[in-house]
Amino acid sequence: MTLLARDPRAPFVLTPPVLPLERRNRGYDVLLSLVALALALTGALLVWAATRDASGQSFLWRHLLNVVIATVLMVGAARLDARLLRLFGPVVYLLSLFGLLLVLAAGTRVNGAKAWLHLGGGFELQPSEFMKLGLIVGMAVLFSRHDQDEDLPPRTRDVLLALGLIAVPLGLIMLQPDLGSAMVLGCAVFGVLVVAGVRARWTVGLLILGVLGSVLAVKGGVLHAYQLDRFKSFMDPSVDPQGAAYNVNQAHIAIAAGGLFGTGLFHGPQTNGGFVPEQQTDFIFSVAGEELGLVGAGLIIALFAVLCWRGLRIAREADHAGRLVAVGVVCWFGFQAFQNIGMNLGLTPVTGVPLPFVSYGGSSMFAQGLAIGLLQAVRRRALD
């Protein structure tokens, strides 16, 4: 019992008058969250521009509501501690798996894919978005058990277990069929496997298997006709300009019209004319391309680059499990952004994935908010 305010045995140190940035922010990466928020708010403007003529401000307000909910989820996820995080992965994985099964049984079909769950009251849920999160954390937990030496490659048993964990949801998502989500999921998991130190024969083998699998899928009739059409039109956009390639062509026209500075927000004829279907979701980038030009659209790409850089910085400084989570999230965001912007630019085939943070859509926004929160938690060394 002491009456002194300070423990007299403690070494005397001068408290620095200004705390280092990291201490002040209790270990949060403010820039990371700000970049995500900037993307989401840019998205709000672009969604508004795309839907203003047909729906007024309703999409704008719903997008902003999604952003607010996602922010709350982010803050919540950032405050998770190690125990809860280790629980978080399996729980989200199992819940999402249940959701995926439910979708196959009673889902709503939008644009050919049965990927949505009606919750009533106009709310819909897309379990595959949350599965990305669940799988990434689940794998991180799997590869960072205490009995493992993190400097040695994971054991074959663990790798096979991981592949099993991946195969089930991947198969379910392919059944919807939602090729885009499956590819993003595969890519994120592949990133985790690579960084987890899985032997090269596994990773290279998986790559070869993936390529062979897609060739077989194209040739063997596993894919649906519309998916094949999308691939064909990707190879040659002039095949069917009114059909499969229509979206891509219209988006391409919009972006090409943008030039350096764009036509100005709300002043894109292609956007205002409603020529690009699904413009507020999968083709939101075409609004930026047309109305904000190279400067604005380039800025969006730059923001994604910064987002990935901050994520990878967190990965470099994190422990093994945290690193796996961070890499998984970065691979997810990076590949999904590449896939989405790529299809807007005619660089990748059309698969229905939203542009993270920017596209209109509740489930994806919430999952992404949670993911940013997880990165912040990793940064706080919550997994130590």
Partner 1 sequence: MAELRRQPLTPRRLGIVVALVMSMMLTLFARLYYVQLIDPHKPVQSAHLLHDGVIVVPAPRGLIVDARGRTLVANTSAQVITVDRDLLQQRADGGKGVLDRLAALLGRSPALLGKQITPCSPKVPAPCWTGEPFQPVPVAMNAPTSTVLAISEHREAFPGVAVQTVTLPSYPYGTLASHVLGYTSEITAADKARNTQLSDADTIGVSGLEQQYDALLRGVDGRQIVELNPQGLTVRAGGSTPAKQGDTLVTSIDLDLQKLAEQSLAQQLRDSRAAGKPATGGAVLVMNPNTGRILAAASSPTYDPSLFVGGISNADYRTLTDPAAGTPLLDRAIAGEYAPGSTFKLITSSSLVMHHEINTHDTYPCPGSVTIDGRVKTNYDSEVLGDITLRDALGYSCDTFFYRPTADEYYRDQTRIDNGKSAHEYLQRMAAAYGVGRAPGVDLPAGEQASGSYADRETRLARWRTDRAAYCAAARAGYRSVADTAQRAYLTELAKENCTDGWRYRAGDNADMSIGQGETTMSPLQLAIAYSALLNGGRIWEPTLGWAVVDGNGDVVQKIRPKVRNHVPVSQRLFDYITKSLDFSRGWAVSGAFAYIGSKYQNRLGGKTGTAEVFGRKDTSWLVSWGPTHKRHGHTRADFVIVGMVEQAGTGATAAGPMLKRIWDGIFGADGKPIIPGSRPERRLPRIDPQVKVAGR
Positive or negative CA dihedral for 90, 329, 278, 225?
negative
Quote the least distance from Cβ 370 to partner 1, whole Å.
Answer: 20
CA 364 to chain centre: 7
Q: Which part of the chain contacts partner 1 (CB under 8 A), choosing from 4-12, 55-63, 155-163, 334-342?
A: 334-342
Of 64-72, 88-96, 195-203, 354-362, the segment contacting partner 1 by CB under 8 A is 195-203
Q: Site size for partner 1, by CB under 8 A?
A: 50
Residue type present at position 326 = A
Distance CA 129, CA 121 (A): 20
Using the minimum distance from each CB to partner 1, give the nearer residue, 264 or 269.
Answer: 269
143 and 324 in contact (C-beta within 8 Å)? yes
Edge-to-edge strand ranges of the sheet holding 108-110: 108-110, 113-120, 123-125
Q: How far is the CB of 307 from partner 1 (least distance, A)?
A: 10
Structure tokens at 253: 């026209």
Minimum distance of partner 1 from residue 378's CB (angstroms): 14
Does position 259 interact with partner 1 (CB under 8 A)? The reply is yes
Please report whether residue 158 would count as binding partner 1 according to CB under 8 A.
Answer: no
DSSP secondary structure letters along 55-99: HTTHHHHHHHHHHHHHHHHHHHHHT--HHHHHHHHHHHHHHHHHH
**Quick check: 186 binds partner 1 (CB under 8 A)?**
no
How does DSSP assign 112-163, residue by residue?
TEEEEEEEETTEEE-HHHHHHHHHHHHHHHHHT-TTS-TTSPPPHHHHHHHH
Residue choice 42, 126, 249, 279 for contact with partner 1 (CB under 8 A): 249
Torsion, Cα 133 32 336 297, to 10 degrees, reads 160
Tokens of 90: 């399996």
46 closest CA partner among 277, 218, 290: 290
Q: What angle do CA 169, 170, 175 make, to 5 degrees?
A: 95
Report the site for partner 1 in 271-330 (rule: CB under 8 A).
Answer: 273, 275, 289, 293-294, 297-298, 301-302, 304-305, 308, 312, 315-316, 320, 323, 327, 330
Q: Least distance in Å: CB of 317 to partner 1?
A: 11
Which of 151, 157, 220, 236 lies at the binding interface for partner 1 (CB under 8 A)?
A: 151
- The minimum distance between CB 161 and partner 1, in angstroms, equals 20
Residue 323 C-beta: closest distance to partner 1, Å? 6
Q: Which of 331, 350, 355, 358 binds partner 1 (CB under 8 A)?
A: 331
338 binds partner 1 (CB under 8 A): yes
Other CB atoms within 10 A of residue 382 CB: 23
Q: What separation in angstroms does the CA of 193 have from each of 96, 189, 248, 330?
A: 21, 6, 33, 13
- Is residue 36 a contact point for partner 1 (CB under 8 A)? no
Q: State in angstroms the smallest separation of the CB of 71 from partner 1.
A: 25
Query: Does residue 201 bind partner 1 (CB under 8 A)?
Result: no
Of 8-16, 20-28, 122-130, 189-197, which part binds partner 1 (CB under 8 A)? 189-197
Question: Taking the complex as a whole, how short is the minimal distance between the CB of residue 116 and partner 1, in angstroms?
Answer: 28
State the residues that interact with partner 1 by CB under 8 A: 150-151, 153, 191, 194-197, 241-242, 249, 252-253, 255-260, 269-270, 273, 275, 289, 293-294, 297-298, 301-302, 304-305, 308, 312, 315-316, 320, 323, 327, 330-331, 334-335, 337-338, 341-342, 345-347
